[in-house]
């Protein structure tokens, strides 16, 4: 496809890189000269100017484009760019920051009045992702597969973990749990080729159900994400959550959690607290500083199971998480503005660091790629590895082949399969059967080859 990307900030630049990596032709429209210079290494047409300018869009080739992705920092510019692109017969995707343009609580949707085929709320993408993590029995990244019946999770091997130096196949997982890959230093390994587990390794597993999260965590010798909390302990999950900040993301996460968890929102901004109090029904809102030890103790925050820091200041989020750890909160999650800081935050003690920009990039790429390949995708931020779920139909080229004879492109491998609703590791002589759901682990550089492998057969596109 020929795709025009409006905006070359963190999101636009990453979207452009990902699309180029998948073999698309890309043009980028950007008004900031410094950002333009940073794009010089990309094999893309770069046009200097505003995406709201018809001349700039014409120079970018909008007349022959298949898709417009508008991700500038201005909602209005994104809308105008999509209106003009739609008039040229283009499909359109826009990131919109203001909640006023979309239905309350909507992650994405059509905005026909502006000709936008997919409008994306970055705040809601972030809030939904975080709430799914916090509603699990333990704090780890996850995604649904097999139509929501199964779960793919990623956990990190921290300092002092008893599984360090053990071989992955020596970990006694519960039935229905399979290790798919071990990510280390930006590379993914099949469990049998990973060698002894090391600190900061990321383990990606497929589980039959959410009920297996805690047993799988115990198998790696990890502490539970659940602790007793005021009001009694809720079954099978994190009970008390402290949310730091009164940003839109923080308030949305509180709204998504407050019916199922004891939720406390702490913010220094009185106006933000007022907005949070108006939006929330059951959550407790406290005007104060979460880094203040007296407030932490006086308000009973030290018995929380997890603290999530979601202010607009990444450094403050980091400090709030580290101090919470020191005061006895077992798990922490931080929002980071710069995607590159995620690894640093986790190395110094934050359990999970998430970048809203990275989340919206993944959301956009999944939407674009998912319409071309016979697969669904799960991207978990920590490892950078994509889990590609292939639903096998009777016409797929690999039906009847033994799994050990299937040659995958370099940088990819089959991690597990789901057969008859059960997650299993395929044996050497197991053959591919219609109805199998194959979970393929794919590194970024192999994505295009893997998509082609499963998207085409004798020149025809294969659909689910």
pLDDT tens digits, one per residue of 337-358: 887 788 788 888 888 889 998 8
Cα angle: 413, vertex 414, 418; to 5 degrees: 165
Q: Which of the four pLDDT bands, split at 50, 70 and 90, describes residue 372?
A: very low
Beta strands of 176-326 (E only): which ranges?
Answer: 177-184, 187-189, 202-207, 240-244, 262-267, 284-287, 306-309
pLDDT per residue as tens digits for the range 255-312: 999 988 899 999 999 999 999 999 999 999 999 999 999 998 888 888 898 999 999 9
- Pairing status of strand 375-379 against strand 116-121: unpaired
Q: Give Cα 96 to chain centroid, integer Å.
A: 18
Give per-residue pLDDT as tens, 110-144. Answer: 888 888 999 999 999 999 889 888 877 666 666 76
Show the CA angle centred on residue 426, arms to residues 430 and 394, nearest 5°: 60
DSSP state string for 85-128 = HHHTT-EEEEEE--GGGS-TT-SEEEEGGGTEEEEEEHHHHHHH
DSSP bridge partners of 388: 377, 440
φ, ψ of residue 431 in degrees (nearest 5) = -105, 155
Q: Where are the beta strands (DSSP E) in 225-269?
A: 240-244, 262-267
Rounded to an integer, the average pLDDT of 400-424 is 87
Per-residue confidence (pLDDT) for residue 32, from 0 to 100: 93
pLDDT (0 to 100) of residue 268: 95
Greatest extent of the chain over all pairs of C-alpha atoms, in Å = 69
Q: Which helix (DSSP H) or strand (DSSP E) does residue 29 occupy?
A: strand 25-30
Confidence tier at 450 by pLDDT (50, 70, 90): confident
Alpha helix (H) residue ranges in 197-237:
213-219
pLDDT in tens, 299-308: 888 889 899 9
Alpha helix segments (H runs only) across 327-433: 342-347, 356-370
The three-class DSSP label of residue 449 is helix
pLDDT, average across residues 435-449: 83
Q: What is the mean pLDDT of the chain?
A: 85
The three-state secondary structure class of 204 is: strand
Q: How far apart (Å, rounded) are the C-alpha atoms in residues 32 and 50?
A: 9
- DSSP letters, 149-198, are TEEEEEEE--TT-TTTTS-GGGS-PPTTEEEEEEEETTEEE-GGGS-S--
Domains plus CATH for the chain?
2-121 (3.40.50.720)
The tens digit of pLDDT for each residue in 181-233 reads 898 887 888 888 899 999 888 888 888 887 888 888 888 887 654 322 222 23
Comparing 90-104, 380-394, 414-428, the range with the smallest average pLDDT is 380-394
By DSSP bridging, strand 150-156 and strand 177-184 are unpaired
Indicate the pLDDT class of residue 148, thresholds 50, 70 and 90.
Answer: low
* Residue 423: strand pairing partners: 418
What pairs with residue 252 in β-bridges?
A: none
* Confidence at 64, pLDDT banded by 50, 70, 90: very high
User: Would you say 369 and 395 are in contact if contact means Cβ atoms under 8 Å apart?
Assistant: no
The beta strand positions in 325-448, using DSSP E, are 331-335, 352-354, 375-379, 386-391, 412-419, 422-424, 437-442
Q: pTM of this prediction? A: 0.72
Strand partners for 386: 379, 442
Q: Is 332 left (phi over 0), alpha (psi -120 to 50) or beta?
A: beta
Give the chain's radius of gyration (CA, Å): 23
At 296 the pLDDT is 87
Give the mean pLDDT of 170-187: 88
């Amino acid at each position: 496809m020929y795709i025009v990307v409006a905006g070359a900030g963190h999101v636009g630049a990453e979207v452009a890189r990902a699309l180029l990596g998948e073999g698309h032709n890309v043009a980028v429209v950007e008004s900031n000269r410094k950002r333009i210079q940073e794009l010089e290494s990309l094999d893309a047409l770069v046009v200097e100017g505003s995406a709201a300018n018809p001349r700039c869009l014409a120079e970018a080739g909008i007349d022959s484009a298949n898709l417009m992705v508008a991700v500038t920092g201005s909602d209005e510019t994104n809308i105008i760019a999509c209106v003009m692109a739609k008039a040229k017969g283009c499909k359109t995707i826009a990131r919109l920051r203001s909640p006023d343009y979309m239905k309350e609580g909507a992650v994405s949707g059509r905005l026909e009045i502006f000709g936008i085929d997919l409008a994306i709320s970055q705040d809601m993408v972030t809030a939904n992702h975080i709430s799914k993590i916090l509603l699990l029995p333990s704090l780890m990244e996850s995604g649904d597969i097999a139509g929501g019946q199964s779960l793919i999770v990623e956990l990190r091997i921290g300092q002092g973990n008893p599984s360090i130096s053990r071989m992955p196949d020596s970990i006694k997982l519960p039935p229905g749990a399979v290790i798919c890959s071990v990510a280390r230093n930006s590379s993914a390994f099949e469990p049998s080729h990973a060698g002894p587990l090391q600190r900061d390794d990321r383990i990606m597993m497929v589980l039959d159900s959410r009920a297996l999260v805690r047993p799988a965590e115990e198998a790696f010798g990890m502490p539970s994400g659940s602790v007793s909390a005021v009001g009694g302990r809720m079954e099978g999950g994190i009970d008390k959550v402290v949310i730091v900040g009164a940003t839109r993301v923080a308030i949305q996460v509180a709204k998504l959690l407050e019916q199922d968890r004891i939720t406390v929102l702490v913010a220094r901004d009185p106006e933000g607290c007022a907005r949070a109090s108006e939006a929330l029904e059951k959550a407790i809102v406290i005007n104060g500083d979460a880094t203040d030890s007296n407030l932490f103790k006086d308000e009973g925050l030290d018995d929380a199971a997890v603290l999530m820091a979601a202010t607009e200041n990444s450094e403050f989020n980091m400090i709030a998480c580290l101090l919470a750890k020191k005061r006895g909160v077992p798990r922490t999650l931080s929002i980071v503005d710069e995607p590159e800081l995620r690894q640093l935050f986790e190395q110094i003690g934050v359990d999970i660091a998430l970048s809203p920009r990275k989340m919206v990039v993944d959301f956009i790429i999944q939407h674009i790629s998912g319409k071309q390949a016979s697969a669904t995708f799960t991207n978990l931020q920590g490892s950078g590895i994509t889990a590609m779920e292939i639903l096998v139909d009777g016409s797929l080229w690999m039906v009847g082949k033994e799994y050990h004879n299937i040659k995958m492109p370099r940088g990819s491998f089959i991690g597990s399969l789901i057969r008859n609703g059960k997650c299993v590791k395929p044996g050497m002589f197991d053959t591919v059967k219609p109805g199998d759901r194959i979970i393929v682990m794919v590194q970024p550089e192999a994505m295009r080859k893997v998509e082609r492998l499963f998207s085409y057969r004798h020149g025809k596109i294969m659909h689910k």
